[in-house]
């Protein structure tokens, strides 16, 4: 199988090296130092006490990589609207697109959900460029339960977790999803196939939309956020608002918020991906993690005062550091 990895960062390397070693013909789309590293040497992944290596094709031009059987999108959310329109040369009539990204993806409600009919989300795809380039009929949804980091360009270190949940946006079983699950399992991933991929995405967001922005705003690791009674209480209010939204779009959450936070607390003093991005001066995924839930709540007529406040604070924080676009008409 020809597999194209869009974005050869931490999660891109986690997929790319393992799939190449499992026999796939892997190509990576990236640029800069990462592209140079993949062209000059093997892709490296530190996993389970050993360093795995694989040679892959790498380019900054989709046309050089050609049509793929499977395209795995591991980009950060703010980058996708810029990259998606250029991916046409990698996508043929039978290509399957597997986005594994944080937050709410562009396709999340394109087929509707719960009380909402088909609903494009302007917060994550403001001009519809992603949906035009990556049609929902080609998409299989994905949710990662794993962590990884980049040690150096072309060298990734696995952190924790080995899970991926995949499913059709329509919820209907299809042979292609079974084939992808088998491919990923053969490469050593723990794969679950679900008929409710939107619910799986919303459940992961339920935790990310609290810890990520609060950690970026405060610079604190998650243990400190949950050990403080005021910030801990704020996370519970945010989770209550997200639970109410999920119940209306066919993505219910049955777990107690306190139990989810207790699980997070047991992970210790770790930095969220958004805090790491803020410290590194990278664009923050506020639209996918905060703006999209707010937009969905607005479509449903639901008030989200705590989500509004956290999004406003995080947006001003990021704009002041050049990590989030200024709204039209704002001073530079």
Residues 14 and 54: beta-carbon distance below 8 Å: no
Task: Single out the residue of 112, 176, 100 nearest to residue 144, CA to CA.
Answer: 100
Which DSSP state fits 269? S
User: How far apart are alpha carbons 109 and 114 in whole angstroms?
Assistant: 10
Return d(Cα 25, Cα 185) in angstroms, integer: 16
Angle (nearest 5°) at CA 2 between 56 and 82: 80
pLDDT in tens, 238-287: 999 999 999 999 999 999 999 999 999 998 998 999 999 999 999 999 99
Q: Which helix (H) or strand (E) holds 119?
A: none
Helix (H, G, I), strand (E, B) or coil at 31: coil
Angle between helices 257-266 and 229-248 (to 10 degrees): 130
Give residue 198's pLDDT band: very low, low, confident or very high (50, 70, 90). Answer: very high
Q: Element (H or E) spanning 178, and its range? A: helix 175-186
In the prediction, which pLDDT does 327 show? 56
The pLDDT assigned to 267 comes to: 87
- Let me know the angle formed at the C-alpha of 280 by 277 and 284, rounded to the nearest 5 degrees: 30
Are 75 and 8 spatial neighbours (Cβ–Cβ below 8 Å)? no
Q: How confident is the model at residue 32 (pLDDT cuts 50, 70, 90)?
A: very high
For residue 119, the Cα-to-chain-centroid distance in whole angstroms is 20
Report the percentage of the chain scoring pLDDT > 90.
93
State in Å, rounded, how far the first CA of the chain is from the last one: 47
pLDDT tens per residue, range 44-80? 999 999 999 999 999 999 999 999 999 999 999 999 9
pLDDT of residue 326: 65
- Give me 157's structure tokens: 């270190």
Average pLDDT, integer, range 171-176: 94
Average pLDDT value for the chain: 95
User: Of 179, 204, 243, 299, which residue is the catalytic one?
Assistant: 204
Adjacent-strand bridge partners of 166: 142, 193
Mean pLDDT of 90-119: 96
Where residue 332 falls among pLDDT bands split at 50, 70, 90? very low
Q: State residue 328's pLDDT score.
A: 45
Catalytic, 271? Answer no
| 196 pLDDT higher than 80 | yes
Q: By C-alpha distance, which of 274, 291, 285 is closest to 122? A: 291
Q: How far apart are CA 213 and CA 241, in angstroms?
A: 15
Three-class SS state of 328: coil
3-state helix, strand, coil in the chain (%, to 5): 45, 20, 35
Residues 276-315 pLDDT 10s: 999 999 999 999 999 999 999 999 999 999 999 999 999 9
Tell which residue, 145, 163, 279, has the closest CA to residue 221: 279
What is residue 191's three-state secondary structure?
A: strand
**Residue 148: strand pairing partners:** 158
What domains does the chain contain, in order, with CATH numbers? Answer: 2-195 (3.40.50.720), 199-320 (1.10.1040.10)
Q: Which residues have a Cβ under 8 Å from the Cβ of 28 and sit 6 or more positions away?
A: 4, 5, 8, 12, 16, 35, 38, 43, 56, 57, 58, 59
C-alpha dist (Å) from residue 60 to 10, 18, 28, 277: 17, 21, 8, 23
Give the CA angle between residues 98, 28, 122 to the nearest 5°.
Answer: 45
Q: Is the pTM of this model over 0.85?
A: yes
Q: Name the burial class of residue 250, with classes exposed (0-12), middle (13-18) and buried (19+) by CB atoms within 10 angstroms of its CB.
A: middle
């Amino acid at each position: 199988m020809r597999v194209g990895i869009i974005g050869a960062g931490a999660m891109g390397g986690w997929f790319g090296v393992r799939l190449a070693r499992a026999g796939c013909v892997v190509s990576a789309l990236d640029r800069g130092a990462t592209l140079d590293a993949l062209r000059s040497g093997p892709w490296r992944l530190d996993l389970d006490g050993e360093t795995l290596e694989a040679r892959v094709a790498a380019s900054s031009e989709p046309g050089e990589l050609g049509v793929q059987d499977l395209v795995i999108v591991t980009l950060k959310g703010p980058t996708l609207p810029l990259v998606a329109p250029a991916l046409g040369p990698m996508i043929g009539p039978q290509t399957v697109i597997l986005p594994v990204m944080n937050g709410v993806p562009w396709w999340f409600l394109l087929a509707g959900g719960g009380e909402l009919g088909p609903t494009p989300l302007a917060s994550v795809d403001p001009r519809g460029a992603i949906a035009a380039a990556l049609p929902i009929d080609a998409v299989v949804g994905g949710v990662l339960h794993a962590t990884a980091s980049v040690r150096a360009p072309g060298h990734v270190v696995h952190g924790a977790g080995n899970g991926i949940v995949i499913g059709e946006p329509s919820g209907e079983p299809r042979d292609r999803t079974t084939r992808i699950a088998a491919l990923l399992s053969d490469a050593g991933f723990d794969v679950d196939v679900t008929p409710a991929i939107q619910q799986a995405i919303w459940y992961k967001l339920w935790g990310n939309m609290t810890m990520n922005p609060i950690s970026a705003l405060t610079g604190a690791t998650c243990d400190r956020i949950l050990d403080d009674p005021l910030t801990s209480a704020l996370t519970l209010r945010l989770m209550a608002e997200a639970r109410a939204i999920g119940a209306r779009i066919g993505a219910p959450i049955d777990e107690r918020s306190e139990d989810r936070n207790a699980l997070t607390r047991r992970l210790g003093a770790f930095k969220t991906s958004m805090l790491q991005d803020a410290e590194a001066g990278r664009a923050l995924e506020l639209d996918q993690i905060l703006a999209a839930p707010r937009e969905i709540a607005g479509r449903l007529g639901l008030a989200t005062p705590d989500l509004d406040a956290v999004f406003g604070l995080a947006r001003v924080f990021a704009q002041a550091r050049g990590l989030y676009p200024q709204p039209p008409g704002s001073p530079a």
